[in-house]
Chains A and B, each alone.
Chain A
Amino acid sequence: MEQQILISAGHHLEYKQDDIKINGHSVEYRVYAEDPSRNFLPSIGLLTKYKEPDAHEHIRIDTGVQEGSEISMYYDPMISKLITWGEDRKTAMDLLDNAFD
């Protein structure tokens, strides 16, 4: 973020491509209160149940809701960002698949 601001003020990027190391694979799925069978129409109402996956060192969940929260028509109907990491893409995807359940 700091680099973005510096660059916009005319500074040079301080990192070179070689400085950027690849560390496994990560995937993010945005959990939305949208109905895929109705052209992703937002769905409003109360989150009568909301349980996150069991804690796991390679699962991260960013959310602003909890059980009982209202998904209203006034905001983006995003429920959470579900992010997993693995040594490779398959591992990250498998962990995401488990987290979905």
Chain B
Amino acid sequence: MVQGVAHNLGFGKSILNNESFMKGDYSTAFIPDFYPDGYFGDVLDNEQMKVVALAAHQLKNVFIGYNGSQSSDERVVYVTVIGQNADMPDHDWKVERSAVDASKFTITNIESNESTVVDLSSFDYEHNSLIKLQADGAMGHQTFQLLSSDNDIKFDFYFEGGKVETRVYDEA
């Protein structure tokens, strides 16, 4: 984890996601070929946004001083993932923790109304930045960073090599 200066860790992750690179099918012109305008962070897909939305739910509770098991916790939060560039709109998510099983979360894409139930087996927040979560299914183990937060509403992450801004609300 590197903070305080701009760095190239995300760029490295992006390279590892490049099929040509992984197949060994590239030349010394790899960067100008694949990043002609530079690297600005990869745009998240739906599965990645669910991870961010779930983390935002958990952090909101951490930040307002709840521990994830009290009845006073925010069981339902709404997370807006801010569009990362001009081509990507904002995405709204609803994250609801089950009232009967505190490790079960229903994550809903508000626009499409598609829901996924995720069983979160562990969530750790270390060094005031590092997020480690473990869930079942496709989500699996994820490690990323919280870059900053304001007023328990604005949470900015460093996820898969790019900055991801979110807004987290109690109500839709």
A residues at B contact (CB < 8 Å): 29, 31-41, 43-51, 71, 77, 79, 89-90, 93, 96-98, 100-101
Contacts and interface: CB of A to CB of B under 8 A. Distances in A.
B5 A101 contact: no
Contacts of A77: 5
Nearest to A68: B4
B4 A46 contact: yes
Q: Which 10 A-B pairs have the closest CB atoms?
A: A48-B4, A43-B6, A101-B143, A35-B6, A36-B39, A49-B3, A33-B5, A51-B1, A36-B11, A43-B5
Nearest to A32: B8
B7 A32 contact: yes
Contacts of B24: 89
Contacts of B127: 49, 51
Contacts of B5: 33, 43-47, 71, 77
A100 B3 CA distance: 13
B13 A97 contact: yes
A50 to B, nearest CB: 6
A100 B9 contact: yes
Nearest to B16: A97
A4 B106 CA distance: 62
A49 B2 contact: yes
Contacts of B35: 36
Interface string B20-63: 00101000000000010011110000000000000000000000
Contacts of A50: 1-4
Contacts of B93: none
B7 A79 contact: yes
A100 B2 CA distance: 10
Given A43-B5, A50-B1, A37 B39 contact: yes
B158 to A, nearest CB: 10
